[in-house]
A = this chain, B = another copy of it.
Amino acid sequence: MATKRLPELLTRVRTELDRVMAFWLRHSHDQEHGGFFTCLGRDGAVYDELKYVWLQGRQVWMYCRLYRELPRFRTPQILEAAKKGGEFLLRHARVSADSPKCAFVLTRDGRPVKVQRTIFSECFYVLAMSELGRATGDAKYTVAAKEMMSQIVRWVREDPSGLGRPQLSGATPDSSLAVPMMLLCLLEQMEEASEEGEGAVGGGDGNAELGRWCVDRILKHLQRGGSVVLETVTPDGEELPGSAGRLQNPGHAIEAGWFLLQRASRLGDAALARTALASFVDVPFSAGWDPQHGGLLYFLDADGLPPTQLEWSMKLWWPHCEALIAFLMAFRETRETRHLDSFTRVLDYSISKFSDADHGEWYGYLDRQGSVTHTFKGGPFKGCFHVPRALYMCEKMLADLTDASKASG
């Protein structure tokens, strides 16, 4: 019986989460300026002091979430570091006091170095502020989250001009999967934070409408009769020409899968749950899993051509994190053994290839054959987020499933 495996899996996941968090707690705190160092070498040594706003926001969120959800992480050290990270973002994330636009990367002491013409720095700012509001009970963080959320929704749905992207006559209007995924993630966060019913978090007529818009937009990326999830389509859900139109990112599709599954669960929408499982989890996993060397490929072209991205055949840590969450959530929903088998397969691959037994945390980047290409534990795009988020969510699900199987056993 599949449930026999659950206690052992729970122990593995819990142990790994402790080892991962010990790494960040020990090496990443900037005691002088607040916030976190995230460019950390194999042993935790800081190799670059730049502070990437995505990663600052994500680490604040992660610390607060663990503080609230898992009793062994409910420590003053964790809350204090999260608050210092939140205050660093409040003081420094915005490029100027009169603009909502956040920097992409800051100096150690908080001066802006680069700005992206996208919404993502602002999204991780919202995630941080919302969860910090929940962990501390301090309304100023919650207000900051809501204000920025409203701004993001306006940029996405009403007027993108504040993002600073030029309008060019040859640029086909397009929809990037990341945008509705990110908004759905934020909506889920804000709804959880205000379960008591504080009303709409963004523009339009409230949460439900925004949620429908996000789901509808995500589903438009399902193309070719449901056989492929494409990263970029037209806003009406048509395929775009060229390499960009054919691009698949299996890990991203799988992440969208568990976002949709979570939404379907909230709404009690069985049809949406089936689509999420079949088309956003099973299909991209089958397409993306390397039959020769194992592991999820980073990018694919829907026509089987080589993607133009140089790193397409590498194995990155985060798609594996998303797959862990998605398959365990799929098992929780369906109790089909095959989903627990897939979870175990991804966990075995991840622990054996990414996890560093000596210093804790996971490596982020492997070549196609599965050898580590970058020995650092944190970098411009890898911080304290995907690994502990996956492990914490899996620990919670495995604990619930173990309890349930005991109760029924």
Q: A residues touching B (Cβ–Cβ < 8 Å)?
A: 39, 41, 47-50, 95, 103, 106-107, 110-115, 166, 168-171, 241-244, 305-306, 308, 310-314, 365, 367-368, 373-376, 379-380
Contact = CB atoms under 8 A, between A and B. Distances in A.
A314 B106 CA distance: 29
A168 B49 contact: no
B374 A308 contact: yes
B171 A114 contact: yes
Q: Which label, helix, strand, loop or mixed, suits the secondary structure of the A interface?
A: loop
Given A39-B243, A367-B367, A170 B111 contact: yes
A171 to B, nearest CB: 5
B308 A310 contact: no
Contact of A368 (B170, B241, B367): B367
Contact of A243 (B48, B242, B373): B48
A166 B113 contact: no
Given A111-B168, A112-B171, 16 more contacts: A47-B242, A47-B243, A47-B305, A48-B244, A103-B168, A111-B169, A112-B168, A114-B168, A115-B168, A306-B375, A308-B376, A308-B380, A310-B310, A310-B374, A312-B373, A368-B373
B50 A166 contact: no
A92 to B, nearest CB: 9
Nearest to A241: B49
Given A113-B168, A243-B47, A243-B48, A310 B314 contact: yes
Q: Which 10 A-B pairs have the closest CB atoms?
A: A111-B170, A48-B242, A310-B311, A107-B170, A113-B170, A306-B374, A112-B168, A111-B169, A48-B243, A112-B170
Contacts of A110: 170
A367 B366 CA distance: 12
Most buried by B among A41, A241, A242: A242
Nearest to A243: B48
Contacts of A48: 241-244, 308
B306 A373 contact: yes
Contacts of A305: 41, 47, 376
B242 A95 contact: no
Contacts of A244: 48
B313 A373 contact: yes
Contacts of A313: 367, 373
